[in-house]
Chain A
Amino acid sequence: MNNNFEKLQISLLRLFFTLSIIFFILTLFGTSPLKVFDSIIYGSLGSYSKLIRTLIVWGPISMASIALIYTFSAGMWNIGIEGQIIMGAVGATLIARSFLGDTFISPYVQIIFAIGFGGVWGLICGLLKVKGNVHEIFSGLGLDFVASGIVIYLIIGPWKREGIASTSGTDIFDKASWIPTIGQNEFPLLLIILILILYILSFVVLKYTSFGLRLKATGVNELATQRFYFSSSTFILLSFFIAGSIAGLAGFSQASGAYHKLVPSISGGFGFLSILIVLICSRNIYFTFIVSFFFSALIVGGSQLQIRLGLDHSLIGIIQATFVLSWLIFEKLKLEEPLLKKVFRSNK
């Protein structure tokens, strides 16, 4: 039997198990799982404008997930991703509020600044790991909160709205600084192009270049890096820089595509959500593409839960986290393979 086919079967069976658990929990909460999923699908894909809203959420989540694939490949836990997204948004806001803010080149300059700001923030985490030997979880967590401190300071202080000092956010950007859209329904073309480029580029880089291979070697086996005479430190630093840059792009997408201003919770928790996504996709770009879309649809569709069924939005987070936790546990329990074999034997 084809090996890939077998893998697909195992994945599908695992998906079935995982969804069963989610259905079970939803029933336990006294809700109807079918109604919940119906609302989610209607709320996220039910119309063209809803699809566009899903795409605008899918953008930053995809970017953050791709960013995390680089650090996970190098064996690093990039919990600092939230901070990198936030700093990317700060970079973008800096340009949107500058003299370039009302010119058509603003979004493109924002991209450069967002990449720079996010990249540097990621690099700090990498440097602390390589030079200071600080566990990346603690430094990442610290830098997340430092970044959110910076944003709060900016919003209350230098970038406050005329006359009001509140944490509700900065002034709305000039329309020229928004991510360019097309048509009446505001299809975010630039965003979609960026995501597709990132997916394809990352697929090629991670799979077909020596850089990708070395990155993986850094994560899997430090001894190998010594045998093949390259420094794992360099690759750890690079992975953090690349991850930070891509996460910065996600911040740009949040600031100029979703909110059109800088708010304290600019990352929307998408960084942590992307960690969940990458945990189950384990560096597989196809899976990341699908799962990040599925999770974005859950988020956007979740707003319908309140309207149609009177259920709180936090149910979506429960579905997502349960999905990931059960998936990870089933992955370890390895129930699927023996089950499949049993079924095939009985067929013969």
Chain B
Amino acid sequence: MLLFENTIVTVISLSTPLIIAVIGETISEKSGVINLSAEGTIMISALCGFAFGYLTDFALIGFITGALSGAFIAAFISYCDIKLRMDQIAVGFVLTILCIDLSNYLGQEYVRINGPIVAKFSLPLISKIPFFGKVLFNHSLITYFSILLIPTSWFFLNKTSLGLAIRASGENPLAARSRGINVKKMRLLGTIIGGALLGLAGATFSLYTKYGWSESHTANYGWIILAIVIFGGWNPYRAAAGAYGFGLLQVLAIKAQSVTLALSQILPLLPFPIMIFILIFIQYINRRERKNLPKFILSILGGNQPEALGKKLPEDVN
């Protein structure tokens, strides 16, 4: 029982940055922009977050700087996408490579040093509840934030008019415009919110779950996040489930290390084949046979890709 409890606690705290990043990327893609720079954004904001946290000895400053650097990169992509009409995928890709090398170059002074520590914050009273208290209410503040972010982002995207406007801009920019929505502004907003969350996730890596900085500190997490967003079918709840699933995989991989080296190396790559399978499945059910499938399978594996995802805005929008 204790082992079980501890595993869940580890999974929840290990998944903290993944949850934040996955929801950020989901919001970005809902507004129609694939922020392909996720890998680079997370890496450079992990460095910025750690460096500023170290310099000011205050973790909160680190988190804020991380989020700001993520938002800045996203704003740059948005500028290239909307104003210069460049291929968002090309810009995102080049930025990934640039940010990875930039963080490795600028981060040399920060390799393996100690910075501020994010303390655990047990919620009073409810953390005393047996099992649930220990598993759910005995984490750091950033973990509570990540858990709260899941329903909040769902509510934001589905129930607020701003969230609906962002989604409309990602589905059908022309129709959104004819309803009086400022599509460019919505895309910019969606991308920046998403980028800020990606940046926050980066800072969470270097200040909390993968403490410190080293060369290519957060390697591959950005790509994994792109996979989990698809696994989540662009729905915050499912994306979060995917992120926790990946957290579990990581714990299993660490446990497997003592048994077989191969398994521990390969387990973390599992999201990628699953992503491909999900994409095939989504296309398959969207084409035909959709109604014949049991509803629970659809709700687990289905999903609607935003219609205008990755496409340039039409010339005459606004």
Binding site for B on A (CB under 8 A): 29, 77, 79, 128, 132-135, 137-139, 141-146, 148-149, 152-153, 156-157, 165, 167, 272-273, 275-276, 279, 312, 314-318, 320-322, 324-325, 328-329, 332-333
| CB-defined A-B contacts under 8 Å, sample of 14 | A128-B280, A138-B230, A141-B226, A143-B276, A144-B272, A145-B220, A148-B269, A149-B269, A279-B90, A279-B93, A279-B94, A312-B104, A312-B105, A328-B90
Chain B residues with Cβ below 8 Å from A149 are 265-266, 269, 272
Cβ-defined contact, A134 with B276, below 8 A: yes
- Say whether A142 contacts B275, CB under 8 Å: yes
User: Are A141 and B223 also in contact (CB < 8 A) when A146-B272, A332-B85 are?
Assistant: yes
- Say whether A135 contacts B276, CB under 8 Å: no
Q: Cβ of B272 and Cβ of A145 under 8 Å apart?
A: yes
Known interface pairs A77-B89, A133-B283, A138-B230; A153-B262 also in contact (CB < 8 Å) = yes
Known: A314-B105, A325-B98. A146 touches B86 (CB 8 A): no
Interface of A is mostly: helix
Interface residue B95 (Cβ < 8 Å from any Cβ of A): yes
Q: Judging by beta carbons under 8 Å apart, are A128 and B94 in contact?
A: no
Chain B residues touching A, majority SS: helix
Contact B262 A138 (CB under 8 A): no
Of the candidates B94, B227, B265, B272, the one having the most CB atoms from chain A within 10 angstroms of its own CB is: B94
In the bound assembly, the distance between CA atoms of A145 and B276 in angstroms comes to 11
Per the bound structure, the CA–CA distance linking A139 and B101 in Å amounts to: 25
Q: Which of A29, A135, A137, A317 contacts B97 (CB 8 A)?
A: A317
Flag whether B279 is at the interface (Cβ < 8 A): yes
Verify B94–A324 contact, CB threshold 8 A.
yes
Q: Mark B198-229, 1 if CB is under 8 A from A, else 0.
A: 00000000000000000000001001001100
Q: In whole Å, how far is B131's beta carbon from the nearest beta carbon of chain A?
A: 36
Task: Give the nearest-CB partner of B230 in chain A.
Answer: A138
> Is B84 part of the contact surface with A, judged by Cβ < 8 Å?
yes
Report, as a range, how many residues of chain B touch the other chain.
35 or more
Assuming the contacts A133-B283, A138-B226, A141-B227, asked whether A325 and B93 have C-beta atoms less than 8 A apart, the reply is: no
Does A167 lie within 8 Å of B97, measured CB to CB? no
Closest CB pairs A-B (n = 4):
A317-B101, A321-B98, A314-B104, A142-B272
Per-position contact with A for B5-19: 1 when CB-CB < 8 Å, else 0?
000000000000000
User: Which chain B positions have C-beta within 8 A of A29?
Assistant: 105
Q: Is the CB of B230 within 8 A of A165?
A: no
Q: Which residues of B contact A325 (CB under 8 A)?
A: 91, 94-95, 98
Closest B residue to A158 by CB, please name it.
B262
A156 B230 Cβ-Cβ under 8 A: no
- Complex-state Cα separation, A132 to B261, whole angstroms: 34
Beyond the given A153-B262, A314-B101, please list 16 additional residue pairs across the A-B interface where CB-CB is below 8 A: A77-B89, A128-B279, A139-B279, A142-B273, A149-B272, A165-B261, A167-B265, A276-B93, A279-B94, A314-B104, A315-B101, A317-B98, A321-B95, A321-B97, A329-B86, A332-B85
Q: Which residues of A contact B279 (CB under 8 A)?
A: 128, 132, 134-135, 138-139
- CB-defined contacts of B85 to chain A, threshold 8 Å: 332
Q: Which residues of B contact A132 (CB under 8 A)?
A: 279-280, 283-284
